[in-house]
Amino acid sequence: MRFQLTDEQRHLRSEAREFAQDIIKPRSKELDQAGEHPTDIMDELSDFGYTGLTIPEAYGGLGRGATDLAILIEELSAALMSVASTLGLHLGVAEVIQQFGTDQQRETYLPEMAAYDTVGALGLSEQSAGSDKLQMETTAEQDGDEWVLNGHKQWITNLLHADYVLTYAKTGSDSESPHNITAFLVPTDDFTVDEVWDTLGARSVKSPRATFSDVRVSDQQRVGEVGEAYVQRSKLRTGVNVPARGVGIARAALDDTVAYTSEREQFDQSIGEFQGIRWEVAEMAERVDVARLLTLRAAERSDRGVDTTRAFSMAKTAATQAAVDNANKAIQFHGGIGYTTEQHVERYLRDARLLTIAGGPNEGHKDTLAEAVYDEHPRK
Ligand SMILES: Cc1cc2nc3c(=O)[nH]c(=O)nc-3n(C[C@H](O)[C@H](O)[C@H](O)COP(=O)(O)OP(=O)(O)OC[C@H]3O[C@@H](n4cnc5c(N)ncnc54)[C@H](O)[C@@H]3O)c2cc1C
């Protein structure tokens, strides 16, 4: 078994790290505190080709896989998680078009998405469709060559700066569930924003609630087979961006803690010399490695096209909890100044708190994981 990145992946990591640490991180506190969208940073990511990282080269992307995405997202999230979320969701929409769309949709949307001239957002969750997405109330009814959509979506990350929302709607009866949900590319202009929440973390990219009433889209805006859109989401590789965001925050919390505890002196010694702190820092490093290894394993399995259900849920729960735990420890070891916005560590905790909820709460992933474990160890 090889635990080695390719030369290309190592190059991606160092290029992305340099950009994230030199350009994004110095602006992260200001963007977070002002709740300001990182528009120019997203544009700069497109100059590197990152906004098309997983889009095939034939459509103007870099044609990289899930492992490369995990590497990139870790670096971005270590600087400012909202940048990583926006990119992860955009590439997730592109992947649905790539895997399940028509040739015409691929040719129309993917080159523009790779260049970030067209930005995608995800409209899956609703008020009654949180963990249980099959409870969605949004409907789409066919009328000739068009579909008429009615309903709402909430938590549409980056809606305010996107061009299209990949909108999931019921097109069949509940008796057909889960084969009763279809996806459509709906222009953001057709949405009426009715709530932009102020959030604990992830503050620079908003995730509003929006409604739409009798919105008509042509059948050419339907992505994938009628009724199969929800089921097809289990085949997506870009979901690995969620645990990778956790790895980034867990690592940033560790890096900042090592730097701070090496410098800060109390009782005539650096506080990093106290064994009480050193053992905790060792455990923080352990959590980063576990989170990263599990995330890369899930990514590598999906690049090989083998089942990732167990590996993904394990990575998701471990990496997102590692982010919360490391951020929390980082605040403790920074003392009072860690409780202020002068340092990054308080933001790490606020951002990390999202990750155990979004992308499906960790409890649901533990259910999935437990099911896989019991299946592997059948009782007589
Ligand atoms: C900032 C933000 C950004 C988001 N971005 C997007 C986006 O871009 N697109 C999108 O479609 N959605 C997005 N989401 C939605 C996100 O995926 C949902 O919030 C998530 O799926 C949970 O749904 P819910 O909030 O309704 O919680 P609920 O489903 O109501 O769950 C509440 C709590 O119940 C517990 N719980 C749930 N299921 C189980 C279970 N099986 N066993 C035990 N306990 C359980 C958990 O503790 C959970 O946190 C975003 C959410 C936030 C907050």
Does one domain contain both 168 and 279? no
Q: Are 149 and 138 in contact (CB under 8 A)?
A: yes
115 and 125 co-located in one domain: no
Task: State in Å: Cα 132 to ligand 1 middle.
Answer: 9
Distance 222 CA to ligand 1 centre (A): 26
- Burial status of residue 1 (CB atoms within 10 A of its CB: 0-12, 13-18, 19 or more): exposed
Q: Which residues are within 8 A (CB) of 331 and not within 5 positions of it... i.e. 6 or more apart?
A: 338, 339, 345, 346, 349
Mean of the per-residue pLDDT values of the chain: 97
Q: Report the C-alpha gap between 308 and 304 in whole angstroms.
A: 10
**pLDDT the model gives residue 202:** 98
Helix (H) or strand (E) holding 294: helix 275-304
DSSP 205: S
Q: Which residue carries 């982010």 as its tokens?
A: 323
CATH assignment of the domain containing 92: 1.10.540.10
What confidence tens digit (pLDDT) does each residue in 92-111 have?
999 999 999 999 999 999 99
Please check the confidence at residue 42 and state whether its pLDDT lies above 90: yes
Tell me the percentage of the chain whose pLDDT exceeds 90: 98
CA dist 158 and 347 (Å) reads 19
Give dist(CA 115, CA 125) in Å, integer.
27
Q: Does the CB atom of residue 89 touch ligand 1 within 6 A?
A: yes
Question: Which among 227, 258, 285 is the end of a domain?
Answer: 227
Ligand 1 atom nearest the C-alpha of 359 is 17
Which residue, 201, 227, 253, sits at the end of a domain? 227
Structure tokens at 28: 């992260």
Please tell me whether residues 300 and 174 are part of one structural domain.
no
User: Is 136 within the bounds of a domain?
Assistant: yes
Amino acid identity of residue 274, one-letter, is F
Q: Is the pLDDT of residue 46 over 70?
A: yes
3 state DSSP class of 124: coil
Residue 362: CB within 6 Å of ligand 1?
no
Tell me if 215 sits within 8 A of 164, measured CB to CB.
Answer: no
pLDDT at residue 372 above 80? yes
Q: By alpha-carbon position, which residue is closest to atom 26 of ligand 1?
A: 130
Q: From the CB of residue 136, how many other CB atoms can be counted at a distance below 10 Å?
A: 23
CA-based angle 316:362:12, to the nearest 5?
A: 20
Ligand 1 mutation target, pool 357, 369, 371, most atoms within 8 A of CB: 357
Structure tokens at 166: 């990949």
Q: Is the pLDDT of residue 132 over 80?
A: yes
Decide whether any atom of ligand 1 lies within 6 Å of the 136 Cβ.
no
Whether 150 maps to a domain, the answer reads: yes
Domain boundary (89, 119, 149) is at: 119
The answer to whether residue 2 sits within a structural domain is no
The DSSP symbol for 144 reads: T
Say if ligand 1 is within 6 A of residue 130 CB: yes
Sorting pLDDT into bands at 50, 70 and 90, what band is 345? Answer: very high
- pLDDT bin (cut points 50, 70, 90) of residue 2 is confident
Query: Are 81 and 249 contacting, i.e. CB atoms less than 8 angstroms apart?
Result: yes
- Work out the average pLDDT over 144-162: 98
Q: What span, in angstroms and rounded, lies between the C-alpha atoms of 231 and 322?
A: 29
> Do strands 164-170 and 192-195 pair parallel, antiparallel, or not at all (unpaired)?
unpaired
Kindly report the protein residue whose alpha carbon is nearest to atom 3 of ligand 1: 155
| Res 380: pLDDT | 67
Ligand 1 pocket, mutate which of 32, 155, 354 (most atoms under 8 A from CB):
155
CB 132 within 8 A of CB 99: no
> How many structural domains is the chain composed of?
3
- 208 shares its domain with 105: no
With H, G, I as helix, E, B as strand and everything else as coil, classify residue 258: helix
Say whether both 187 and 247 belong to one domain. Answer: no
Is 289 among the domain residues?
A: yes
* Angstrom distance (rounded) from CA 295 to CA 251: 13
Q: Name which residue sits closest to atom 4 of ligand 1, judged by CA.
A: 155
Token pair belonging to 11: 């190059």
Same domain, 45 and 95: yes
| 11 has a pLDDT exceeding 80 | yes
Question: DSSP label at 225?
Answer: S
Question: Is position 154 within any domain?
Answer: yes
Looking at the structure, tell me whether residues 106 and 171 fall in a common domain.
no
Residue 1 in this model has a pLDDT that exceeds 80: no
Q: What tens digit of pLDDT does each residue of 255-311 get?
A: 999 999 999 999 999 999 999 999 999 999 999 999 999 999 999 999 999 999 999
- Looking at the fold, whether 258 and 318 belong to one and the same domain comes out as yes
Mean pLDDT, residues 114-131 taken together: 98
Residue 367 CA: which ligand 1 atom is closest?
41
Q: What's the CA-to-centroid distance between 176 and ligand 1, angstroms? A: 24
Together in a domain, 146 and 102: no
- CA of 321 from ligand 1 middle (Å) equals 15
Mean pLDDT of 325-335: 98
pLDDT at position 377 is: 87
Using a 6 Å cutoff on CB, does residue 160 contact ligand 1? no
Atom of ligand 1 nearest to the CA of 168: 11
The reply to whether 1 falls in a domain is: no
Cα of 226 vs centre of ligand 1, distance in Å, is 25
For residue 152, the surrounding DSSP H or E stretch is strand 146-153
Residues 263 and 353 in one domain: yes
Is residue 87 domain-shared with residue 126, that is, in the same domain?
no
321 inside domain: yes
CA of 56 from ligand 1 middle (Å) equals: 31
Ligand 1 midpoint to CA 111 (Å): 32
Among the listed residues 276, 291, 286, the one whose alpha carbon sits nearest the alpha carbon of residue 352? 291
Residue 181 is part of a domain; what is its CATH number?
A: 2.40.110.10
Q: Residue 378 pLDDT > 90, yes or no? A: no
Q: Is the CB of 43 under 6 A from ligand 1?
A: no
Q: The tokens of 350 are what?
A: 């606020």
Q: Which domain holds residue 177?
A: 121-227
Give the span between the Cα atoms of 242 and 197, in whole angstroms: 21
**Are 43 and 169 contained in the same domain?**
no
